[in-house]
Amino acid sequence: MTKLWTGAIAATVICIWGLGDSRPVAAAELPAATVKMLQKLKLSPDILKGLDQELKIPAAWVAGAKKEGPLKLGGTWDAEQFENMVKPLLERYPFIKIKYARATSYDRVIKPLMAFRTGRVITDVISGVGSKFSLFKKYDAAIDLRILPNWKNVPDGMKHPQGLWVGQRLRYWCMAYNTNKVAKKDLPRTWEDLYANKRWHGKKIGLGNRPNLWLLPLMGLKGEPWTKDFTRKLFGTIKPQLRKEGMNALIALVIAGEFDMSLPSAAYRTAQRLAKGAPVGWHCPVPIPLAISEMLIVKGTKKLNTALIYVNWFLSKEGQISQFAANKAPPVHRDLQTNNFLSFPDQIVGKETAFRHPELMERDLPKLMKFWDPMWFGGRGLTLTTVRAKITKIKRGGRRVSFKVGGKTHTVKVSGSRTKITVKGAESDRRGVKAGMTCDITYPGNKEEAKKIACM
Same domain, 161 and 176: no
Query: What's the rounded Cα separation, in Å, for the pair 28 and 33?
Result: 14
Same domain, 282 and 305: no
Same domain, 113 and 66: yes
Query: What's the rounded Cα separation, in Å, for the pair 323 and 84?
Result: 8
- The pair phi, psi for residue 233, each rounded to 5°, is -75, -30
Query: Among residues 254, 272, 290, which one ends one of the domains?
Result: 290
Which residue in 168, 148, 158 sits closest to 77, CA to CA? 168
pLDDT tens digit sequence for 202-221:
999 999 999 999 999 999 99
Same domain, 158 and 194: no
Query: What's the rounded Cα separation, in Å, for the pair 116 and 325?
Result: 34
pLDDT tens digit sequence for 383-438:
999 999 999 999 988 899 999 999 999 999 998 778 989 999 988 888 899 999 99
pLDDT tens digit sequence for 7-61:
333 333 344 444 333 344 344 589 999 999 999 999 999 999 999 999 999 999 9
Which residue in 141, 75, 100, 125 sits closest to 308, CA to CA? 125
> Would residue 118 count as lying in a domain?
yes
According to the model, what pLDDT value does residue 15 have?
42
According to the model, what pLDDT value does residue 305 have?
98
Same domain, 142 and 32: yes
- CATH number for the domain including 401? 2.40.50.140
Exposed, middle or buried by CB within 10 Å (0-12, 13-18, 19+), for 238? buried
Same domain, 160 and 41: yes
Same domain, 187 and 250: yes
- Give the strand pairing for 288-297 and 353-356: parallel
> Would residue 153 count as lying in a domain?
yes
> Would residue 369 count as lying in a domain?
no
According to the model, what pLDDT value does residue 37 have?
95
Asked if residue 198 has pLDDT above 90, the reply is yes
DSSP 202-265: SS-EEEES-HHHHHHHHHHHH-HHHHHHHHHHIIIII--EEE-S-HHHHHHHHHTTSSSEEEEE
Same domain, 184 and 238: yes
Average pLDDT across the chain, whole number: 90
Query: What's the rounded Cα separation, in Å, for the pair 380 and 439?
Result: 25
Query: Among residues 317, 337, 356, which one ends one of the domains?
Result: 356
> Would residue 371 count as lying in a domain?
no
> Would residue 3 count as lying in a domain?
no
Same domain, 198 and 230: yes
Q: How large is the greatest C-alpha to C-alpha distance in the chain, in angstroms?
A: 73
Same domain, 115 and 159: yes
In terms of residue numbers, what domain contains 318? Answer: 12-170+292-356
Identify the DSSP state of 337. -
Query: What's the rounded Cα separation, in Å, for the pair 122 and 116?
Result: 8
> Would residue 6 count as lying in a domain?
no
Average of per-residue pLDDT across 121-141 = 91
| Confidence at 363, pLDDT banded by 50, 70, 90 | confident
Buried-exposed string 253-286: b where 16+ CB fall within 10 A, e elsewhere: bbbeebbbbbbbbbbbbbbbbbeeebbbbbbbbe
- CATH number for the domain including 175? 3.40.190.10
More confident residue, 426 or 1: 426
Buried-exposed string 158-173: b where 16+ CB fall within 10 A, e elsewhere: bbbeebbbbbbbbbbb
**% of the chain with per-residue pLDDT over 90:** 76
Query: What's the rounded Cα separation, in Å, for the pair 172 and 214?
Result: 9
> Would residue 392 count as lying in a domain?
yes
Query: What's the rounded Cα separation, in Å, for the pair 72 and 102?
Result: 11
Q: How far is CA 172 from CA 31, 110, 115, 205, 222, in A?
A: 31, 26, 33, 18, 17
Average of per-residue pLDDT across 229-258 = 96
Same domain, 16 and 146: yes
> Would residue 7 count as lying in a domain?
no
Query: Among residues 273, 290, 307, which one ends one of the domains?
Result: 290
Query: What's the rounded Cα separation, in Å, for the pair 270 and 248?
Result: 8
Same domain, 323 and 203: no
Total domains present in the chain: 3
Helix (H) or strand (E) holding 424: none
